[in-house]
Amino acid sequence: MEWELSSDRPIYIQLIEQLQAAIIAGNLSPGDKIPSVRDLASEAQVNPNTMQKALAELERNGLLYTERTSGRYITSDKELIMKLKKQSAKSQIQEFIEKMKLMGFQPEETLALIEETIKDK
C-alpha cells in the first residue's frame, strides 16, 4: 500500500483516513487479513505505536476486527463499508456544492450543470 503523510497533522489520523480510503476503494477487500502492526508501520515508515493507535480506532468503529490468535481482518460487513462509502461521497459532494456556491451557482443550477457535463461526455 502507498502511504502519503504530511507532517502538519497528527499521523494516526492520516493513517486512519488512508486505511479507510483503501477499504472504501476496495484495495483492501472485505474479510481480508491485514499485515501485522510492525509490517504496516515499517511500510509506512512510522512508529508501531502510531500504527497501533490507528488500527485500534478502526477496530472501534468496526472496520477491522481481531481474531485472538490469527491476526487482524477487514470487516465482512459490506453494508458498513457501503455506509462509509456513501458518507465519504457525501462529504465530497458537499465540499463541491460549497465551492460552486462561491462561484455564484445555486444547488439546482449546479445539478443541471452536472447533468449537462455527464451528457457531453
Partner 1 sequence: MIINMNTILECNQITKRYSSLTALTSVNLSLGRGKVIGLLGPNGSGKTTLIKIINGLLVPNEGTLLVNGQKPGPETKKIVSYLPDKSYLPDWMKVKDAINMYQDFYENFNKNKAYEMLKRLDLDPNRKLKSLSKGTKEKVQLILVMSRDADLYCLDEPIGGVDPAARDYILNTIITNYNENSTVLISTHLIADIENVLDEVIFIKEGHITLHNSVDEIRSQEGKSIDTLFREVFKC
Q: Hunting for cell 461521497 — which residue is that?
A: 89
Which lies closer to partner 1 via its Cβ, residue 15 or residue 24? 15
Question: C-alpha 14: how far from its chain's center?
Answer: 10
One residue of 50, 58, 74, 75 binding partner 1 per CB under 8 A: 50
Buried residues in 66-100 as b, exposed as e (16+ CB within 10 A): eeeeeebbbbeeeeebeebbeeeeeeeeeeeeeeb
Q: Which stretch binds partner 1 (CB under 8 A): 17-25, 38-46, 71-79, 99-107?
A: 38-46
**Closest listed residue to residue 19, CA positions, set 8, 7, 50:** 50
- The Cα 81–Cα 29 span in angstroms is 10
Which lies closer to partner 1 via its Cβ, residue 20 or residue 50? 50
Residue 75 one-letter amino acid? T
One residue of 1, 26, 27, 49 binding partner 1 per CB under 8 A: 49
Which lies closer to partner 1 via its Cβ, residue 6 or residue 117? 6
Site residues for partner 1, 3-22, by CB under 8 A, read: 5, 7-12
Check residue 40 for interaction with partner 1 (CB under 8 A): no
One residue of 18, 35, 48, 110 binding partner 1 per CB under 8 A: 48
Which positions touch partner 1 (CB under 8 A)?
Answer: 5, 7-12, 38, 41-42, 45-50
